Amino acid sequence: MKEELALLIQLQTMDLKRQKDREILESFPEKMAIAEKPLLDARSELEEARATLKVITQERKEKELALQVIEDKIVKLKLRLTDLKTNKEYHAHLQEIAAARNSKSEIEDQLITAMDEAERLTEEISEKETTLSKDEAEFSEIKKEMQAEMDAVASTVAEIEAEWQATAEKISKNLLSSYQRLFTSNKGLAVVPVNGFTCTGCHFSLPPQLIAEVKRQEKVLTCGYCHRILYAKPVEEAAK
């Protein structure tokens, strides 16, 4: 029975290790997402800037066309001045020319604003593209490192799993089943040592007779309070 207790302690050590490793593996997707978020944000900002530039460029083309139309209109209006016969018609025509010139001035101002904004956006996009290129290279390295770390942990998990199976085969099925149930229900502490007359799992005092039996290691004994499997310290040393 002493040998089985030592094996149970070994199993518990392996279970705790692979439990921790599995938690590490499960955390990798979230860590990867956190590491990638700045890169995704940078890409989104770049695409937004490109889309804005595209809209401004289209608006600029439309305003240039409108400016050409208004300039042609002004030329035609000027040519008609010589054909007008009355002062009323002449003054009305001059007002129409003035209104067209005002419209032209407004469009020109809008064009200058659009050109300035397009120039600013072009520079901003160039800077963002340079930054994004660096961010992509940095994230690529981070991804490689994280993948290597994940592969190493996965390899360790596989090794422990093989060792666990080999150890479990040496333990009776009933005892193994009890251990696994206790390990699950007690969050990783199924087998605990006694310390004096105390169970180190629940920290309750145990009867002296039970402590004496635990030290004899003739059979598997459990705590009457937390039901964990008990062992004396020499068994722990034998399990190392």
Kindly report, residue by residue over 32-69, the tens digit of the pLDDT.
Answer: 999 999 999 999 999 999 999 999 999 999 999 999 99
Kindly report, residue by residue over 185-231, the tens digit of the pLDDT.
Answer: 877 799 999 999 999 999 999 999 999 999 998 889 999 999 999 99
Q: Is residue 229 exposed (0-12), middle (13-18) or buried (19+ Cβ within 10 Å)?
A: buried
How much is the pTM?
0.67
Look up residue 36 and give its amino acid.
E
- For residue 171, give the nearest of 26, 51, 5 by alpha carbon: 5
Cα 58 to Cα 45, 52, 54, 55, 108: the distances in Å are: 20, 10, 6, 5, 15
* Structural domains in the chain plus CATH codes: 15-168 (1.10.287.1490), 173-239 (no CATH)
Kindly report, residue by residue over 70-128, the tens digit of the pLDDT.
Answer: 999 999 988 888 888 888 888 988 999 999 999 999 999 999 999 999 999 999 999 99
- Dihedral of CA atoms 89, 95, 99, 105 in degrees, nearest 10, equals 120
